[in-house]
Amino acid sequence: MRETPLSNCEREFIRKALGERKRLDGRQAYDYRTLKIAFGYDRGCCRVDLGQTRVLAQVSCEITSPKQQRPSDGVLFVNVELSPMASPVFEVGRMSDQGVEINRILERCLKESRCVDTESLCIIAGEKVWQIRVDVHVMNHDGNLIDCSSIAAITALAHFRRPDVTVDGTDVIVHTIEEKDPLPLSVHHMPICVSFSFYEQGKFLLVDPSDKEEKVMDGKMVIGMNKHREICSLQVTGQMLLLKDQVLRCSNIAVVKVTEITEWIQKALENDRQARSNGERFGFREAVVMDTVTTNQMNPEKLK
Amino acid sequence: MVDIRVVGARDRQKQEFTEEISNLVCPGDVITTDTGFMRGHGTYMEDEKLHASVAGVVERVNKLICVKPLKTRYNGEVGDVVIGRIIEVGQKRWKVDTRSKLDSILMLSSVNLPGGELRRRSEEDEKMMRNYLKEGDLISAEVQSVFSDGALSLHTRSLKYGKLAQGTIIQVSPSLIKRRKTHFHTLPCGATIILGNNGSVWISATMNEETEQTGGYEQDLEPVSKGDREVIARLRNCVIALSEHQMMLYDTSVLYSYEESLRFNVKDILKPEIMTEIIENTQPRLESLGT
Amino acid sequence: MAGVNLLSDQGYRIDGRKPNELRRIQCKLGVFKQADGSAYIEQGNTKVLATVYGPHEIRGSRAKLLLDRVLVNCQYSMATFSTGERKRRPRGDRKSQEMTMHLKQTFDAAIMTNLYPRSQIDIFVEVLQSDGGNYCASVNAATLALIDAGIPMKDFVCACSASFVNDNPIADINYLEESSGGPELIVATLPKSDQIVFLEQNSRLHEDNLSKVIDLAVKSCKDVYTVLDQTVRDHVSELSNSHGWDH
């Protein structure tokens, strides 16, 4: 479906408000929206909410033959699906430009930064390796899909457990969960993408733009960083001209944000780990809040 | 026999020029910091300074500064003769491709109806539009006016304009066509040449006088004789030779280069060395004319 | 690939260059007669061809028509023989689509788009031989082609890549240096004002070193600009001399 353009008065209003350092939802310029992380029953399933934007990531693994150039490395495959469920603008089938952009940014951030140790995924060099596949599905689009997807992807990778394998000569035995405990992936570091949107040719910048703010922006910068202050990927897009100190200022802000978010992720992982080990209930069902009122009328069935 | 050459063996004769053109600019160069000038094409103002936006030569006419680039798409002016191809038949108008920035428009009210009648255009005429001109037809027309977005409005109200048939068309850069009083030339060698301002050059055999005044819609599809065809082919190659050497195209230059080329076979004219020889012989003749 | 020493003790790289030295650039304008503008550039072993058509009427979907600006349509394509192993899909795969988008954004910012509303400018880039710095050579070639076509731009757009090896920033990396796993920073600037039009960075680079690497990349863009500027001036002089320019 064709995108409904933003009306001129809305555009003017948002621009003017930004001029007075005010955002539509009352946040400060460098504030993130509420971040909620929930894990599913299966290992490697993670749902991330950033305000109203919701993204689901699932990690799965499979044994395949390795690439020709790298016979002793496993394969990491990242795929982001923009389904029409998230927004009527997204269409099934051919990936739009926005889809390609998100896919490439996430690919560069996760694969080329080598956050997951691929050498440990090797079973028999040259013949059998693990292929780890991260599928990210966008369920609701309210701006800033990149940040949300990257948080979901890396959290899912940290949450995932792969089956244990023993190599007996040329035979490979994959153990089930009952036989042997599954092993975590060796995640060296957690790269998180932080998005900045620019207005008025770079004079104002916002962190974590919402959908309306994204429609009004001049350009965008995405910085993928981990908590050791290493920049894993950086990309400036849009039709604007930047100066070097603006780029450096953004990277300083990103350092602070990434540290916060990484702490949050670690806390969520810790909570989930405790829940599983203490025998408590875990999974998405527990993440649904049960004491909110969802109807205002009830006709109970009378039992005969 | 096929003529094959190796690219490196081509002798690029670099013309020696004594000094570099002094007022050459490239995009982004500062032309002047004086704010008293008016900005023309090819410039933009930033931070109180006038910058060039194209690569070319700076031209100053009193208070107007503009930069003329080496080549651009055709910019129409009222009164220009253009040659274009019909690409679309629409509501009371045809869309014509004249190799300019936007497609040109030929309104139904700007053409001569066949038979030469002058009457109000009716609905019948709209439905019969395709019988007069359809997609793919080549026409010669004159620019009547320019729309605000830069598109041209054409007309074929004179008998000399209209559908073209049986000839050959060559595309050159519009900057090579010299602006003259008339762009339709009948050369003594037996061919007619139309030098369109948009860079399209049309060469055809000269029609007999009586059959010409039909209002431009009947295409003469009589077979063209071999002699005429050879003349047309030779003229075409001469025009190509002139455009390769960046020489201005007008009736005299085409005629002189045709005369110089008579020594060679028609197909040999396209060989680079023979082209250079013809041009070298033509240039002094043109210069002695004092043009 | 461990074991390849990208920077020797004497400070020389694999191909013998110093850390801040660019590869040899050779370029030519006006290689095709039928296109409105065309250019060919060789940066070291990377060879790229660019052609520009336009501005002309919008072809294809009229839905993309912009009422106040020109539509910039790019296509980035790599010849099947351009890489070491034969490339199965010259265009249409994800990396090419991404490159296409980046080229479009870069030139949307540099061309004066409000001069040609309702029109379209096509930029076609073909990589004939790929040895690192594909995006940079494509941007440089497309800039020359746009200048050849006489399309007004704010300034040249020059692009260069940089990396960081052994505490030294190095400029204009080739394929070997790219694939060794070190960080790669690609920047496209308007050289006169040092404004950054496009910036992309891959692989891990520590934040403290970011400033140095950007500085080197921006400075290298200026060096590329000197070469391109000279080429354009020579080309314009040659053609305007043969024209006569008396009108």
Render pLDDT for C19-35 as a digit per residue (tens, 0 to 9): 889 999 999 999 998 89
* pLDDT-derived band at C245, boundaries 50, 70, 90: very low
Per-residue pLDDT band for C4 (boundaries 50, 70, 90) equals: low
Interval C199-228 mean pLDDT: 92
Q: Tell whether the model's pLDDT for residue A264 goes beyond 70.
A: yes
* Chain C contact present for A117, CB below 8 A: no
> Which residues in chain C are closer than 8 Å to B73, comparing Cβ atoms?
36, 54-56, 150
pLDDT of residue A212 exceeding 70: yes
Nearest CB among C36, C233, C244 relative to B24 is that of C233
Nearest to B95 by CA among B143, B153, B160, B145: B153
Least CA distance to C112: which residue of chain B? Answer: B53
pLDDT at position B45 over 70: yes
For an interface test with C, which of A3, A91, A95, A100 has the most C Cβ atoms less than 10 Å from its Cβ? A100
Residues 198-237 on C with a CB inside 8 Å of B are: 229, 232-233, 236-237
Contacts 24+ apart (CB under 8 A), C237-241: C237/B17, C237/B20, C237/B21, C237/B24, C238/B14, C238/B15, C238/B17, C239/B70, C239/B246, C240/B21, C240/B24, C240/B56, C240/B57, C240/B70, C241/B15, C241/B17, C241/B21
Determine which of C98, C104, C184 to mutate to test the interface with A (most A C-beta atoms within 10 Å). C98
Which residues on chain C are in Cβ contact (under 8 Å) with A235? 199-201
**B53/C241 touch (CB, cutoff 8 Å), yes or no:** no
Please tell me the predicted confidence (pLDDT) of residue B160: 86
Q: What is the pLDDT of residues A47-97, one digit of tens each?
A: 999 999 999 999 999 998 888 888 888 889 999 999 888 988 888 887 788
A233 at interface of C, judged by CB pairs closer than 8 A: yes
State the pLDDT at residue B15. 52
Record: contact A247-C200, CB cut-off 8 A: no
Identify the pLDDT of residue C247. 34
Q: For B55, what's the count of Cα atoms within 13 Å in the CB-facing half-sphere?
A: 27
In chain C, residues with a C-beta closer than 8 Å to the C-beta of A238 are 105, 109
pLDDT tens figures, C157-181: 999 999 998 888 999 999 988 888 7
Counting as contact any 3 or more CB pairs under 8 A, the partners of A are: C
Q: Do C236 and B51 touch (CB under 8 A)?
A: no
What pLDDT, in 10s, does the model give residues C91-100? 778 888 889 9
Which residues on A lie below 8 Å from C109 (Cβ)?
238-241
C67 three-state secondary structure: coil
Confidence of residue C59 (pLDDT cuts 50, 70, 90): confident
Q: Say how far apart CA B154 and CA B110 lie, in whole Å.
A: 7
pLDDT for position B115? 64
pLDDT in tens, C109-133: 999 998 888 899 999 999 999 998 9
Pairwise CB contact (< 8 Å): A239 & C109: yes
What is the pTM for the complete model shown? 0.89
Q: What is the pLDDT of residue C120?
A: 93
- Cβ atoms A281, A275 nearer than 8 A: yes
Looking at chain C, which residue has its C-alpha nearest residue A95? C94
- B92: tokens are 């009371």
B272 touches chain C (CB under 8 A): no
pLDDT digits (tens, 9 = 90+) for A24-53: 888 888 999 999 999 988 888 999 999 999
Q: How many interface pairs between B and C have CB atoms less than 8 angstroms apart? A: 102
How high is the mean pLDDT of chain A?
A: 88
Please check the confidence at residue A292 and state whether its pLDDT lies above 80. Answer: no
Report which secondary-structure segment, H or E, holds B23: none
Residue found under tokens 């035979």: A171
pLDDT band at A295 (very low <50, low <70, confident <90, very high): confident
Q: Does C62 touch chain B (CB under 8 A)?
A: no
**Half-sphere exposure at residue B145, Cβ-oriented, CA atoms within 13 angstroms:** 5
Neighbors of chain C with 3 or more C-beta pairs under 8 Å = A, B
Residue C136 Cα, gap to closest chain B Cα (Å): 19
- Check if the beta carbon of residue B159 is closer than 8 Å to that of residue B89: no
Chain centre to alpha carbon of residue A153: 4
Classify residue B37 by burial, with Cβ atoms within 10 Å: 0-12, 13-18, 19+: middle
State whether C237 and B53 contact (CB < 8 Å).
no
Q: Residue B12's pLDDT is what?
A: 54
Q: Cβ–Cβ of C152/B101 closer than 8 Å?
A: no
pLDDT of C1 reads: 41
Inter-chain CB pairs, A–C, below 8 Å: 94
CA angle at residue B50 from B47 to B53, to 5 degrees? 110
Residue B217 has a pLDDT of 60
Q: Are A282 and A271 in contact (CB under 8 A)?
A: no
**For residues C44 and C27, is the Cβ–Cβ distance under 8 A?**
no
Exposure b/e, A247-286, CB count within 10 A at least 16 = b: beebbebbbebbbebbebbeebbeebeeeeeeeeebbeee
Residue B19 has pLDDT above 50, yes or no: no
Count of Cβ atoms closer than 10 Å to residue A206 Cβ: 22
Does the structure show a pLDDT above 90 at A223? yes
Cβ–Cβ contact A192 with C under 8 A? no
Q: How confident is the model at residue C229 (pLDDT cuts 50, 70, 90)?
A: very high
B52-66: b (≥16 Cβ within 10 Å) or e = bbbbbbbeeeeeebb
Query: Does residue A119 belong to the interface with chain C, where contact is any CB pair within 8 Å?
Result: no
Percent of chain B residues topping a pLDDT of 90: 29
Kindly state the percentage of chain C with pLDDT values over 70.
Answer: 96
Residue of chain C nearest A239, judged by CA positions: C109
Q: How far is residue A217's CA from residue A213's CA, in Å, rounded to a whole number?
A: 6
- pLDDT confidence of residue A158: 92
Residues of C in contact with B150 (CB under 8 A): 116
Q: At residue B11, does pLDDT exceed 60?
A: no
Residue B215 has pLDDT above 60, yes or no: no
Q: Is B254 left (phi over 0), alpha (psi -120 to 50) or beta?
A: alpha
Q: Does position B272 have pLDDT exceeding 70, yes or no?
A: yes
C170 beta partners: C163
Tell me if chain C has a CB within 8 Å of the CB of A231.
yes
Pairing relationship of beta strands B38-39 and B64-69 according to DSSP bridges: parallel
Percent of chain C clearing pLDDT 90 (strictly above): 59
**C71-78/C119-129 β-pairing:** parallel
Residue, of C118 and A296, whose pLDDT is higher: C118
DSSP 8-state code for residue B162: E
B47/C contact by beta carbon, under 8 A: no
Both tokens of C182, joined, read 């070190």
Which of C70, C93, C196, C211 to mutate against chain A (most A CBs within 10 Å)? Answer: C196
For residue C229, the chain B residue with the least C-alpha distance is B26
Q: What is the DSSP letter of B225?
A: P
For chain C, list residues whose CB is within 8 angstroms of any CB belonging to chain A. 63, 94-95, 97-98, 101-102, 105, 108-109, 181, 183, 185, 190, 193-208, 210-211, 214-215, 218
The verdict on B122 touching C (C-beta cutoff 8 Å) is: no
Amino acid identity, residue A109?
A: C
Residue B13 has pLDDT above 60, yes or no: no
Which chains have 3+ CB pairs within 8 A of B? C
- Please report the pLDDT score of residue A125 as a whole number: 84
Per-residue pLDDT for C242 more than 80? no
Q: Is the pLDDT of residue B46 over 80?
A: yes
Q: Taking 60 as the threshold, does the pLDDT of residue A291 lie above it?
A: yes
Which carries the bigger pLDDT value, residue C160 or residue A293?
A: C160
Residue C26 at interface with chain B, using a CB cutoff of 8 Å: no
Cβ contact B54–C237 (<8 Å): no
Point out the residue among C54, C147, C245 whose CB comes nearest to the CB of B27: C147
